[in-house]
Structures are given as C-alpha cells and as structure tokens.
C-alpha cells in the first residue's frame, strides 16, 4: 500500500547531508516537527518547522535526556492508519500523525574511542532515538523510518522520483536498515559494560563491502568492517576474499618485528621472511628463502619503500604490497601495473580476539600474542647470544605457520619451513627439503617447532642436517628422549612451555 508523506519528525545528531532532504520536504508541503539543534538547523535554512515542545506541552528536560518521550509523539508514530480505534484515539487526544521519522543515534562508539571518561560515555547512550526508531520500524506499514545518514541518499531518491509517496517495500527496507542500526548500537553498549567474558557471543560489524566472490568463484562473499581505517589503497583492483585473508596474516607477522623486516605470504603461511639492517637487504633475504612460492604472493614490510627496493620488487609478479610509506619515485614505478595492489598501512595491527564458526556455534579465543613463557635451557649447553636471537626469531615465524609447523632460521632469515603437515617429522622433512632446494647451508642454523617433539626423531634429523639449536614447547611424556639426544650431540635445546598451534 502506498502512503503519502504529509508530516515528518526530524531529530538528528549528524546534520551533514540533511539539507537537501529538508528542502525537498518543504517543497512537497510536508509539515516538519523538530527539536533542539535540529530545529535550529532547519530554521537556519529559512524553512519553517514546528517545535515538538508545542505538541507535547513539555520542554526538553533533565539536561536534554527527555525530549520526545511523550504519548503525543509516539502515538503519532505508532497509530495504525487502518485501525478505527487507533484513529479514534488520535482524534480524541489531538495527536498529529507522523509519516516520516528521521532520527539517528548519539555517537556512542566514537565517544568510547575518544575518551575513557565514564560520565561522558554514559551520556552518549541514546534513549529517545532508539525508542523512536523502533516505534517507526514497528509501524513500517504506515511510517518511513530513516535511522542513519547512510540512508539519506535512498530517501532523497524516493522523494524526487515518487514526489513524497512511498510503497510498502520502500518502507520495509528502511525499517530493516533501522533495526540493524539499533542492533549494532546495542551490541556496542553491551560490549562496553561486559568487559569480561559473558554468557553470549555478540558481535556487530557494519560497512558491508560485497566481494567479487569468496574463497572460490562459485561462493558469494562480503567483507564487513572499516578497512580504510587501516590502509590507504594507492593502486590496484579491489581486494578479494583471499587477498583480505592473506593481508591479515601479513599484518600480523610483520607487527612482531621492530628492525627492518620483510615477509612474503602465500595462503596465510609465511614463505619468506628476514630481518636486516635495511629494507633492501631484508627484501633480498626474504625472497631468497623461497623464490618459487613468492610468485603471486602478498608482500609486507615495516619500512618505507624507496626506489632501490621498488626496482628489485618490481622484477617479481606479486598480488599485494603492504608498507607504512612509499617514496614518490618508488610509487610511480610500482604503479606501472594497474592491477597490482599497493596498500599504505596506517597503523600496526594485531587482533585481540579471534572468532571461528564451528558446527552450530562460534569459537572465541584470545589472539596468540605470546612468544614464550619460559626459557629453559635443557640441552648440552646454553645458547650463544646469536643462537638466542635466532631462536626467538624462529619461534615467532613458526607461530605464523599452519600446524604442524617447523621453521629453520639462519642469521634471521627463513631458510626452510614445513607447514600444514599431519606429523611433526613430516613438517621437518618438508623444511629440510625446502632448504636443500634453494641451496642453503644449515650448519649453524636453528629450528623452531610449534609443539613438542613426541620422539627424538626430529632432533636426530636436525643434527644430521647441521642444526645446532632447537626451540620447542616441551611437555611430552618423552621429552627426556629429545633432551638426552641433544646433550649427547652438543646441541642447545630451549623448552618454552608455550605451544603455538595454528589451524
């Protein structure tokens, strides 16, 4: 059923984008009701509006906490136009019918981000706005509800195209968007009050961005979130589902390093990573770790991209490069391929929590932000200073490989890795084969494992390859087998007490 908009209630926090709507409503002869700052804004445009206070006979009270919470306001929204009893009450109590409600919500999330002052935060919990939105949404068969400035464009299009008339589907779409707005708002407030783990999982993320497809072309997909808060896209096509997954992995590993570092990601696994004194050396060492897998990968660094490193990177086909800054000449060179995605990272990123859909529920866990809890020297000797630096580096790298995982490191360069294997010894065999494939000498290298060694077979293979030091969590009932082997073969062994499974 179509409805004509004859009257409107407008009360918003954000005024940007409102002017053309108000002018169109005035052009259509719509009676406008308003209050407070919105009323002043409308009158400032030279457009007449009726103060809500003149309808309710009550002023704004309690410091603005109560403005529109009145039967004459809610009656005008909730009255069903085709219910005889409702219309009798409207006439009896002189309630003005409201056909359009434009109301947004106080900026609660923005306030939480900008201050820790609880009094200020609490005052940004909207009461009247949520109530008005829900009332208008409930009565969508008769009333249009616009609950966000994001919907202003849609409303203006309808006003222009239909001259103030709306169809039932129009109103239902606005109501759906309005209830989603309220739900997101309530989740944010609940999250503020429930700092500890609570009995229900609540997460609301807006800013939907439809993707070309999901993990595979036959799967539909979308990204929800404000990616522009993390990156400025300087070049290239839109990020795909798989791009986003790999960029997430890239940002997590690079955030672990403070010295100049470069990493190459493929299917969320790091296939090359190195730490050096300068960005060019870091890139060359990272690429050398596995130049075959680097093809078509996601590159990430914690250093600005200058022309010298850009020239070297430009020799490789890659999907994405993430860096904190790009020199102008480097950017001009890298932009030579229009589909190549260049992301300037605005701030370091590492999640606090991780979520995963499992069966008919959701798993939630703290992110793995730890490197090691203990440093127990359990081998034939204590690590040298150089070995310790490399073991710490190796343990970080191994944490970012899919389990079962092994990382071989020499001079803070990944020289072999095994990941996603069903046994630990197979992961080591894969890592050794990779190091052999690219000509690395493993004498003096170190090894990191994401979980304990159930047998001494990994220590044996490592020793035979020339590896001198191992870091692993420990905790196996047969830890002593590995400990005794390392003691007998002059190998350093560190037990950390911290496992790093990644699935």
Q: Which residues are known to be catalytic?
A: 138, 267
Q: Are strands 469-472 and 446-449 parallel, antiparallel or unpaired?
A: parallel
Report yes or no: 500 and 450 within 8 Å, Cβ to Cβ. yes
Q: Report the alpha-carbon distance of residue 163 to residue 160 in Å, rounded.
A: 5
Order across the sheet with 492-495: list the strands.
376-377, 492-495, 469-472, 446-449, 406-409, 414-418
Closest CA to 14 of 32, 38, 34, 30: 38
Distance of CA 299 to the CA centre of its chain: 19
Burial 439-465 (b: 16+ CB within 10 A, else e): ebebeebbbbbbbbbbebbbbebbbeb
Give 489's DSSP letter.
Answer: T
Query: Which residues is 100 bridged to in the sheet?
Result: 8, 144
Q: Roughly what angle, to the nearest 10 degrees, separates helices 424-437 and 457-465?
A: 10
Closest of 321, 323, 318, 325 to residue 342, by C-alpha: 321
User: How far apart (Å, rounded) are the C-alpha atoms in residues 284 and 68?
Assistant: 65
- Return the axis-axis angle of helices 152-162 and 19-27, rounded to nearest 10°: 20
The sign of the CA dihedral 24, 26, 30, 32 is: positive
Cα torsion 200, 205, 211, 215: sign: negative
How crowded is residue 196: how many other Cβ atoms within 10 Å of its Cβ? Answer: 4
């Amino acid at each position: 059923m179509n409805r004509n908009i004859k009257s409107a209630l407008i009360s918003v926090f954000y005024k940007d984008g409102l002017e053309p709507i108000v002018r169109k409503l005035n052009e259509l002869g719509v009676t406008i009701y308003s209050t407070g700052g919105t009323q002043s804004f409308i009158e400032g445009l030279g457009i007449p509006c009726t103060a809500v206070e003149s309808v309710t006979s009550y002023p704004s009270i309690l410091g603005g906490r109560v403005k529109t919470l009145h039967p004459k306001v809610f009656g005008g929204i909730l009255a069903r136009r085709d219910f005889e009893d409702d219309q009798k009450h409207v006439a009896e109590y002189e309630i003005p019918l409201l056909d359009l409600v434009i109301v947004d919500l106080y900026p609660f999330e923005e306030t939480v981000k900008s201050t820790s002052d609880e009094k200020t935060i609490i005052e940004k919990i909207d009461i009247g706005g949520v109530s008005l939105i829900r009332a208008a949404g409930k009565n969508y068969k008769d009333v249009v509800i616009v609950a966000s400035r994001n919907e202003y464009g849609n409303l203006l299009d309808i006003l222009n195209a239909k001259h103030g008339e709306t169809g039932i589907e129009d109103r239902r779409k606005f109501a759906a968007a309005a209830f989603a707005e309220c739900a997101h708002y309530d989740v944010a407030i609940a999250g503020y009050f429930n700092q500890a783990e609570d009995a229900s999982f609540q997460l609301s993320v807006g800013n939907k961005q439809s993707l070309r497809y999901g993990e595979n072309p036959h799967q539909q997909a979308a990204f929800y979130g404000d990616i522009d808060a993390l990156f400025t896209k300087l070049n290239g096509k839109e990020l795909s589902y798989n791009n986003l997954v790999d960029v997430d992995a890239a940002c997590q590993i690079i955030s672990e390093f403070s010295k100049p570092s470069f990493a190459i990601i493929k299917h969320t696994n790091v296939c090359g990573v190195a730490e050096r004194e300068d960005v060019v050396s870091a890139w060359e060492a990272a690429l050398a770790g596995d130049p075959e897998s680097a093809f078509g990968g996601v590159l990430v660094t914690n250093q600005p991209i200058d022309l010298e490193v850009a020239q070297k990177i430009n020799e490789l086909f890659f999907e994405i490069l993430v860096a904190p800054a790009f020199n102008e000449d480097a950017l001009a060179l890298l932009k030579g391929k229009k589909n190549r995605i260049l992301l300037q990272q605005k701030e370091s990123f590492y999640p606090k929590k991780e979520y995963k859909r499992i069966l008919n529920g959701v798993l939630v866990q703290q992110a793995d932000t730890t490197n090691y809890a203990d440093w127990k020297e359990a081998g034939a000797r204590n690590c040298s200073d150089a070995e310790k630096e490399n073991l710490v580096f190796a343990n970080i790298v191994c944490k970012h490989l899919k389990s079962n995982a092994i990382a071989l490191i020499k001079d803070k360069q990944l020289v072999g890795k095994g990941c996603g294997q069903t046994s630990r010894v197979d992961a080591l065999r894969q890592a050794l084969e990779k190091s052999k494939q690219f000509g690395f000498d493993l004498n003096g290298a170190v090894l990191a494992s994401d979980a304990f060694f159930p047998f001494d077979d990994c220590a044996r293979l490592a020793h035979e390859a020339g590896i001198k030091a191992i870091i692993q969590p420990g905790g196996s009932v047969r830890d002593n087998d590995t400990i005794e082997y390392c003691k007998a073969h002059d190998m350093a062994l560190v037990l950390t007490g911290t496992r790093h499974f990644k699935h």
